[in-house]
Amino acid sequence: MRITAWIGCAWWTLGCVACGGSSSDGGPPGAGGGAATGTATTGTGGAAATSGVGGSAGGANGAGGAGGANGAGGAGGAGGAPRELHVDTSSPELSEIRFKPSELDPEVSDRDLEQVALLDTRVARFAGKLVVTLSGSNQPPGPLDLTRFVAARGFHAFAVAYKNDYNIVQNDPDTFGDARLEAFDGQDHTALIEVTRADSIEARLAKALAHLKEVHPRGDWGYFLEDDGSPRWSVIIFSGHSHGASSAARIGKVVRLDRVVSLAGPRDTTPVSASWLSEPSATPVDRMFGLTGERDEQHPDHLKAFDLIGLPGELVEVDVPGAAPPYGGSHRLALKDGDHGASGNCGAHVAVCEAMFGLPLP
């Protein structure tokens, strides 16, 4: 594990085993001084049931109450009082923390690649949201350009290592979603891949946040954890490119995220359309965005996925004269002159990427 900080014009490495490549991509300068704050959202109570005792009150981070003692449980308790995000900005810097999943969990057995967490305390304001980035097929954690893009704009950012080294193109419409779900939760959903709990996105994210809370307390990474140590999904954004774009949207179907940003995706529409695309979504579709390139050979597949998910609006070309956020409220966005890689290059398409991530902050 290594922690690297960018201060002014020099890199400082703390507790470093070996210094590796570092980014020179810094965020906009912000005022130093005391702790910065951001407002949390109030938690939601549990679902009602026909029998059982009502759930207990929610935790300090706004988690819903537990279910009752009998059957499915009674009504969940009210969400706990939210707390503010407290980031120490007394020494403004870009902190980059790198570690492998196996450093946090001895049960890790696959895709033990270096993960990257970023926080830039030089920004003028914090989003109070964590962006988890998912890389394309068989790629290392990232895309790091995307991770750095969001960190430079006030987000906490984390590039997770996950199961993405398999052929997702299948003839069974259920296999697409089952494989992506297994990569997320580590439960046995399909014979196509085998992912243990320790190798799942969900477990690795929880372990990473607990680790970051300990090794980088100035960043208040614990803000993104519930009292029970699970990720606090309501303040987490999943974003990915290509294979990661579809996985981000699949995860948004099963947990209620702050939003989903899919770059060069979602897809899962060849040779058959995946059943998960049209399933009900835990994350409201008006919190999901897709960006495709019209010169991308997968572009027609992306359009099918946009339709099946039900993304709001009509397709809007964002790189033509006169195009500007919020693009008529559409969440179906396209680069007229973009290929597969261009859709993942937020540095070259700042306006549309900032809009998808909810910037500028309200």
Residue-wise pLDDT for 241-281, tens only, equals 999 999 999 999 999 999 999 999 999 999 999 999 999 99
Question: Is residue 104 in a domain?
Answer: yes
Residue 189 has pLDDT above 90, yes or no: yes
Task: For residue 234, give the CATH number of its domain.
Answer: 3.40.50.1820
* Least reliable range by pLDDT among 9-18, 68-77, 204-213, 281-290: 9-18
Q: Strands 2-7, 35-36: parallel, antiparallel or unpaired by DSSP?
A: unpaired
Residue 9 has pLDDT above 60, yes or no: no
- What is residue 65's predicted lDDT score, i.e. its pLDDT? 41
- What is residue 81's predicted lDDT score, i.e. its pLDDT? 52
Average pLDDT over residues 351-360: 97
Average pLDDT over residues 5-16: 42
Q: How far is CA 239 from CA 183, 219, 242, in A?
A: 15, 21, 10
Average pLDDT over residues 190-218: 98
- Share the mean pLDDT of the chain: 84
- What is residue 50's predicted lDDT score, i.e. its pLDDT? 35
Kindly provide the residue ranges of all beta strands, DSSP E only, lying in the chain, ordered along the sequence.
2-7, 10-14, 35-36, 87-88, 94-99, 115-120, 130-134, 156-159, 236-241, 259-263, 288-293, 316-317, 332-335
Question: Is residue 242 in a domain?
Answer: yes
The tokens describing 183, both together, are 């990569």
Residue 356 has pLDDT above 70, yes or no: yes
Residue 26 has pLDDT above 60, yes or no: no
Closest CA to 358 of 336, 339, 331, 322: 331
Pair 282, 181: CB distance under 8 Å? no
The count of domains in the chain is 1
- What is residue 361's predicted lDDT score, i.e. its pLDDT? 85
What distance, in Å, lies between the first and last C-alpha atoms of the chain? 35
Question: Is residue 26 in a domain?
Answer: no
Question: Is residue 334 in a domain?
Answer: yes
Q: pLDDT higher for 53 or 156? A: 156
Q: Strands 130-134, 156-159: parallel, antiparallel or unpaired by DSSP?
A: parallel
Question: Is residue 81 in a domain?
Answer: no
Beta carbons within 8 Å of 250's beta carbon, 6+ residues apart: 177, 180, 181, 184, 266, 276
Give me the domain span that covers residue 310.
Answer: 94-356
d(CA 164, CA 178): 13
Share of the chain above pLDDT 70, in %: 78
- What is residue 293's predicted lDDT score, i.e. its pLDDT? 98
Question: Is residue 62 in a domain?
Answer: no
d(CA 103, CA 210): 13
Q: Model-level pTM greater than 0.85?
A: no
Residue 222 has pLDDT above 50, yes or no: yes
Residue 94 has pLDDT above 70, yes or no: yes
To the nearest 10°, the Cα dihedral for 169, 170, 174, 180?
A: -40
Helix (H) or strand (E) holding 213: helix 201-215
Question: Is residue 31 in a domain?
Answer: no
Question: Is residue 361 in a domain?
Answer: no
Residue 147 has pLDDT above 60, yes or no: yes
